[in-house]
Amino acid sequence: MARALATPETRSVRLLKVGEQVRHILSELLMRGEVHDDVLAAHSVSVTEVRMSPDLRHAMTFVKPLLGADEAEVLKALRTNTAWFQREVAGRLKLKYAPKLKFTGDESFDVAGKIDALLADPKVARDLGEPTDD
């Protein structure tokens, strides 16, 4: 029987807390420019979310460069420096196993933009308008 996908509501508090700790560590490393990479030094990168696997061994890290500029280049630089990030996270977290990081682009901002554009469409705005009493 296939397991249902974990949603934020069904994930345990521990998974959420550890994910937040990893997100804060990665954000701090990127903000301070501790990684020695020209691409990452030239871009401001936001770590929007970290989703931990149930065994805390894998961390799916969602990132977005400022204004979405050069996203492919930034992701390549992050993936190139994955081992360094994993070492730093392992040193700062007190876990039995260091999580394996996987960097991916965060598409939630793009989806939100499409939803806003749909809601701003005059046809949709007309349908969402105040109902009139006939």
Structure token digits, residue 56: 């805390």
CATH number at 38 reads: 3.30.300.20
* Top-confidence range, 19-23, 35-39, 96-100: 19-23
Write out the H or E segment, with its range, that includes residue 51: strand 45-52
For residue 1, tell me if it sits in a domain: no
Residue 48 forms part of a structural domain: yes
Which of 1-10, 47-56, 66-75 is least confident?
1-10
- Residue 99 included in any domain: yes
Helix (H, G, I), strand (E, B) or coil at 45: strand
Residue 64 belongs to domain spanning: 13-128
Residue 3 is assigned to a structural domain of this protein = no
Domain count, the chain: 1
Q: Do 85 and 35 touch, CB atoms closer than 8 A?
A: yes
| 2 found inside a domain | no
134 falls within a domain: no
pLDDT at residue 1 in the model: 45
